[in-house]
Amino acid sequence: MQNVQREITNTITGNELQVMYQPLRHNYQVDNSFNAFLFFKSIWASHTLYMQEQVYVLFLDKNCNVLCWRQLNTGTLTNCLIDIKLLAAMAAKLLADSVVVAHNHPSGNVAPSRQDVQMTENIREALYIVDCKLHDHLIITEDDYFSFVDNEGMQTDYYHSSLKMRNLKRRKKIFATQETV
């Protein structure tokens, strides 16, 4: 009975949720796509590059220093799912200023697919909500990479201003609907 009362007391007083901020901080700065590629190559299990798609993410502070990294998922020979909600939650918990996402193409072709482009947009939108930027999205092989930033697949300033306008229009529509009810 006392355990149940303690649980209820902890829940009421807010002890159920513990917020901690203690990133590992690597002594590495990712200020361009080549540095990101080199970092990913150093942590990637190279024997898997041609076997199955995998997704890794670097979490960066405001100076583009690596706070920490994580392998998000492993997929099949032709695709890999990214849990965008989990990615955004981790970025928020780490208080990351930006992230770099990378995945591999076992085919050896670094050209992005339509799904890669759409996933990049979806990630960027989710991160924007938690005040975090998508610094870059790389597609890598053992000796080559594609950067969405380097290939102008991500115009950050335009993107953020257009997203703000869409959100503003959405909010106005919601408030207009609520007023008429």
- What integer pLDDT is reported at residue 176 of this predicted model? 56
**Residue 8 belongs to a domain:** no
126: in domain: yes
How do residues 61-115 score in pLDDT, each as one tens digit? 999 999 999 999 999 988 999 999 999 999 999 999 999 999 999 999 999 999 9
Asked whether residue 13 is domain-assigned, the answer is no
Residue 172 has pLDDT above 90, yes or no: no
Check residue 73 and give its pLDDT: 93
Q: Is residue 125 part of a domain?
A: yes
* Total tally of structural domains belonging to the chain: 1
- Is the separation of the CB atoms in 56 and 103 below 8 Å? yes
The three-class DSSP label of residue 177 is helix
In-domain check, residue 106: yes
**pTM assigned to the model:** 0.73
Report whether 77 contacts 63 (CB < 8 A): no
In a domain, 87, yes or no: yes
More confident residue, 28 or 24: 28
- For residue 117, what is the domain's CATH number? 3.40.140.10
How does residue 129 score in pLDDT terms, banded at 50, 70 and 90? very high
Q: Is residue 169 a contact partner of residue 133, using CB atoms and an 8 Å limit? A: no
Banded pLDDT at 46 (limits 50, 70, 90): confident
Residue 29: domain span:
25-172
Q: Is 150 in a helix, a strand, or coil?
A: coil
Q: Report the C-alpha gap between 24 and 67 in whole angstroms.
A: 6
Q: What pLDDT, on a 0 to 100 scale, did the predictor assign at position 26?
A: 73
- Other CB atoms within 10 Å distance of the CB of residue 173: 10
How far apart CA 55 and CA 158 sit, in angstroms, is: 26
- pLDDT for the residue numbered 173: 54
**17 located within any domain:** no
Structural domain includes residue 6 = no
Residues 6+ apart with CB under 8 A from 151: none
**Distances 46 to 22, 43, 72, 134 between C-alpha atoms, Å:** 29, 9, 16, 25
| Distance in angstroms (rounded) separating the CA atoms of residues 75 and 83 | 12
